[in-house]
Structure formats: C-alpha cells, structure tokens
C-alpha cells in the first residue's frame, strides 16, 4: 500500500477490530456481570440486545449522514461515542446504566463499522483495492475469533469492567490519529428519513421487550401484550411511511425481487439460530461445565475461529457447485452442528463430545457469508448495491436481536438456572429450536432463483458493510 493508504488502514483497522471484538467479548463476562450486578436472564438479554438493536436500526441512517456531512467527521464522532460509552459501561453501578451504555456503544458502532470500509476504499487505488479489502476482512475476522478469548482472559484475571476499559486507550489513539491519517470525503447528498428511523426503533423495541418479558410476566399480561401490539403497530406505520416517502430509509422496491427478499430472510434466520444460542451456551459452559471465562473462550474456538479457515474455500466451491448450493450446505452444516450439541448436552458432559458440533457449526458459518452477500448483490439493481448491502447487514443484526429474545423465551419456558438439569433442559430446547430454524432456512434457499450472470460489482467507493463478506458479526 501507499503511505496514505497504509495510514488509513492502521486507523480504520484498529477501529474495526475494536468494534468486532466488542461483539463477542461480552459473552464470557455475562455470568460475572450477573453475579456482580445481581441481574437475571432478562438483564443479560438486554445487555446484549441494547447494543445490537441500536446498531441495526442506525446502520442505514448513519451512512447517509456521513455522506452528507463528511465521513471522517462522522467516523470520529462515532468513535468518541463508542469510547465514552465503553467508559460508562465499565463504571456502571447497576444493570440499568450498563444497558444504557451498551445502547450508546451500539450507536457508535453503527457509525464506525461501515465507515471503516468506505474510508479505506476511498484511500486505496482501484488496482490495490482487493488487497486492502482482504486485509480489512482479516481484521474483522480476528476480532470475532479473539473476542471470546480476550473477554474470558480479562474477566478471569481482572474484572468484567476491564472488557470495556480496554476500549478507552484504543479509542483515544484512533481519535488522536484520525485528523492526520484520514482524508475527509463526502458522498452524494442524500435526504434523511428521521421519522422512519423513529418508527422502526419504537417498533422493534416494543416487539423485543414483549418477547423478553413474556415468560416472566405472562404472555397475555397487559404490559407484554400491549408492548407487542404497540411494537407491531409502529412497524406497520414504518412500512406505510416507507412506501409513501420520496426518500425512504428502506427502499421497499428492492423487496419486489423474490430472490432479494428470500436471501435477507435467510440471513435473519441464520443469525437468529447461531448467535441466539451462543448467548445461552456460553453461560452453560461456565455455570454447569464449571469452565473459567478463559476456558470457555478457548474451548469455543472450534466454532468462532473456523470461519477464518473455511471462508477461502467458498469461491472455488461456488464456482463448482453454484452459489445457492453452497448456501444450502452452509445452513445444513449449522443445523447439524446445533442438533449435535442438543443431543450431547447434559448436566454432566465431556467437552470432547461437543467439539464435533462446534466444528460443524463453524464450517457452516465460514461457508455462509460470502455466498449470501453475492446473492444479495445479484438480486439488487446496480445503482442500489450499497443500500442492498446495508439492508443485508441490518437483517443479520435483527436476526441476532430476535434470536436472543425468542430463544431466551424458549429457555425460560422449558427450563431455568436453578439446577443443572433444568439449565440443560432449557438450553437443549433452545438448540433444537435454532436447529429447526436453520434447517427451514436451508429449504427456503432452494426457492431462491438461480442467476446466470455474476452480480454487478459495487461502485469504486461502495457503500460499506458493517461486516466483511467472509466473516460473521455476532453480537452476543
């Protein structure tokens, strides 16, 4: 890379690594947070979902604001929010403050993550862009793979607060280097959709709140039923507004394509199943398997690190078997992996019995992201590839939110945390549910139309994705 491009990669690479690391770094700290702050399953669910929900809702508006007001400027604002929120999370005296800080972290991440790709693409000559984007993907993949290990090690040898404190010096470094290392750039001025952003935020918040609190307060209780109904009404109003406004945040015209709609539903289902069970499984390994936070992080590596090894195989497999076939295989591997874990999980279990399930699930994840991104772009018009990529990433984030909420409800309905037997029963039910959802997604993939020409490549300064095409962005 040229000196300017290399400097840009240093700054954006550190920022991207931080954001992706923070997705999984919290998972192995959840039992410690629960014990220290005296919270139960609902509080832990919101610790995860507060971050993911704001991340998902603000991805598309943040990109439009950055194009209008300056990408470097918004990047620094997002990094400042992320850093301040990390400090607030570390200082949180109770679960309410921690959840609020995580929500602000999600806002910062929604701004920073896609802009790392946009800023890097703008700084690199077209001839070297493929190399730069590969390096960008590696940084994201490393953040995902190392998140459980770093989170486990920090929680075990320091305290859970330090999983947030470690963001502060890195964030300050990025903010100090950005004015010198990054070049300001703008995109086409886009009209914002503030009403659409508010409606979808309130709608998703209402639905998720009802799902999280349903088992505890009763599914027909006024607060739960009212929350779900209000959320559904806001989402319906959002769709009506998006259909009528001349400048929608979510162009509904894209969903006239059956292929585009199905691929996004498949992405949502994949993250629902895979990342929803991660929330429960890591707690089971620590509380019932008596693993330390670091042990739990290391022993899930066959799952979280496998995509780094498998992702390079997707291109030759797709050229030989077809993109749609590789996507079906990816989902079947994931479904089989979770089914294996459901069969082997018990109050007393040997770690070796779980490894094949972890490996199968990891292989499936490694095979998933590049083909699904290729299909998303294949079914979108060339002028809307950036928006299509953003919608794809939003669907993944929403899948994680719904997975944590719904599978948490399945766990609470069938088990609890009072005894090893009840804990295993609840997690097993959640695993079977997730496996069934992934198997249904595999069948749905067969209905995706075939395409005979490759998708139109993204523009030279593409709208960014919040995750690389070859690696996942789990938010648990």
Which tens digits make up the pLDDT trace of 356-406? 999 999 999 889 988 887 888 788 887 777 678 778 888 888 888 889 888
Question: CATH for 3-179+245-445?
Answer: 1.20.1250.20
Residue 465 is predicted with a pLDDT of 38
Give the H/E segment covering residue 245: none
Please state the rounded mean pLDDT for residues 202-209.
Answer: 85
Is-contact 106 55, C-beta < 8 A? yes
By the 8 A CB rule, do 473 and 466 touch?
A: yes
Assess whether pLDDT exceeds 90 at residue 190.
no
Instruction: For residue 46, give the nearest of 211, 283, 248 by alpha carbon.
Output: 211
Calculate what percentage of the chain has a pLDDT beyond 70: 92
- Residues 343 and 366: beta-carbon distance below 8 Å: no
Residue 422 buriedness (CB in 10 A; 0-12 / 13-18 / 19+): middle
Q: Residue 42 and residue 378: Cα distance in Å, rounded?
A: 39
CA 300 from chain centre, in angstroms, equals 18
How many angstroms separate the CA atoms of 220 and 317, rounded?
A: 49
The burial class, CB within 10 Å (0-12 / 13-18 / 19+), for 367 is: buried
Q: In the predicted model, what is the mean pLDDT of residues 121-126?
A: 79
Q: Which residues contact 456 (CB under 8 A, 6 or more apart)?
A: 377, 382, 385
Instruction: Read off the pLDDT band of 15 (50, 70, 90).
Output: very high
DSSP state of 121: H
Report the residue count for the chain.
476
Residue 33 binned pLDDT confidence (cut-offs 50, 70, 90): very high
Q: How far apart are the first and last CA of the chain?
A: 34
Rg (CA), the chain: 21
The chain-wide mean pLDDT, for the chain, equals: 85
Write out pLDDT tens, residues 284-328: 999 898 899 989 888 888 888 888 888 888 888 988 999 899 999
464, pLDDT greater than 60: no
What distance in Å separates the CA atoms of residue 86 and residue 164, rounded to the nearest whole number? Answer: 5
Indicate whether 251 pLDDT > 90: no
Do 299 and 291 touch, CB atoms closer than 8 A?
yes
Dihedral, 392, 8, 24, 102 alpha carbons, nearest 10: -90
Model confidence at 81: pLDDT above 60? yes
CA atoms within 13 A on the CB side of 9: 20
Selection from 265, 197, 261, 269 nearest residue 234 by Cα: 197
- More confident site: 457 or 182: 182
Closest by CA to 306, choosing from 55, 476, 474, 150, is 474
Q: Which helix (H) or strand (E) holds 171?
A: helix 167-181
What is the pLDDT averaged over residues 80-106?
A: 95
* Residue 428 in this model has a pLDDT that exceeds 90: yes
Whether the CB-CB separation of 441 and 324 falls below 8 Å is answered with no
pLDDT at 468: 37
């Amino acid at each position: 890379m040229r000196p300017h491009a290399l400097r840009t990669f240093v700054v954006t690479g550190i920022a991207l690594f931080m954001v992706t690391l923070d997705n999984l770094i919290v998972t192995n700290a959840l039992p410690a947070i629960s014990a220290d702050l005296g919270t139960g399953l609902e509080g832990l669910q919101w610790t995860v979902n507060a971050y993911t929900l704001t991340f998902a809702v603000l991805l598309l508006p943040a990109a439009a604001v950055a194009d209008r007001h300056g990408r470097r400027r918004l990047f620094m604002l997002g990094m400042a929010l992320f850093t301040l929120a990390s400090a607030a999370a570390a200082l949180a005296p109770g679960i309410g403050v921690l959840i609020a800080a995580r929500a602000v972290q999600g806002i910062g991440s929604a701004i920073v993550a896609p802009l790392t790709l946009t800023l890097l693409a703008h700084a690199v000559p077209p001839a070297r862009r493929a190399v730069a984007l590969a390096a960008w993907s590696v940084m994201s993949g490393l953040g995902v793979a190392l998140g459980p290990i770093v989170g486990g090690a920090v929680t075990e040898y320091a305290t859970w607060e330090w999983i947030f404190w470690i963001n502060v010096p890195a964030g300050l470094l990025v903010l100090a280097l950005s004015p010198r290392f990054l070049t300001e750039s703008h995109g086409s001025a886009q009209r914002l959709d503030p009403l659409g952003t508010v409606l979808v935020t309130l709608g998703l918040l209402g639905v998720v709140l009802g799902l999280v609190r349903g088992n505890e307060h009763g599914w027909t209780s006024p607060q739960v039923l009212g929350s779900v109904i209000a959320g559904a009404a806001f989402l319906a109003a959002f769709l009506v507004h998006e259909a009528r406004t001349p400048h929608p945040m979510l162009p509904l015209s894209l969903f006239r394509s059956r292929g585009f709609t199905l691929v996004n539903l498949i992405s949502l289902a994949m993250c629902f199943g895979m990342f929803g069970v991660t929330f429960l499984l890591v707690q089971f390994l620590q509380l019932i398997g008596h693993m330390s936070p670091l042990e739990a992080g290391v022993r899930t590596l066959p799952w979280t690190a496998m995509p780094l090894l498998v992702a390079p195989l997707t291109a030759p497999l797709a050229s030989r078997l077809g993109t749609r076939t590789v996507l079906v295989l990816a989902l079947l591997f994931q479904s089989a992996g979770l089914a294996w874990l459901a069969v082997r999980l018990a109050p007393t279990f040997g770690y070796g019995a779980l490894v094949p399930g972890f490996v199968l699930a990891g292989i499936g994840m490694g095979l998933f992201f590049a083909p699904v991104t290729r299909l998303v772009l294949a079914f979108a018009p060339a002028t809307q590839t950036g928006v299509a990529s953003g919608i794809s990433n939003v669907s993944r984030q929403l899948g994680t939110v719904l997975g944590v909420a719904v599978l948490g409800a399945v766990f609470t309905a069938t088990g609890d945390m009072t005894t090893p037997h009840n804990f295993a029963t609840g997690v097993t039910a959640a695993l079977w549910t997730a496996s069934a959802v992934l198997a249904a997604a595999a069948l749905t993939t067969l209905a995706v139309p075939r395409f005979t020409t490759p998708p139109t490549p993204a523009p030279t300064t593409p709208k960014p994705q919040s995750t690389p095409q070859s690696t996942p962005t789990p938010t648990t």
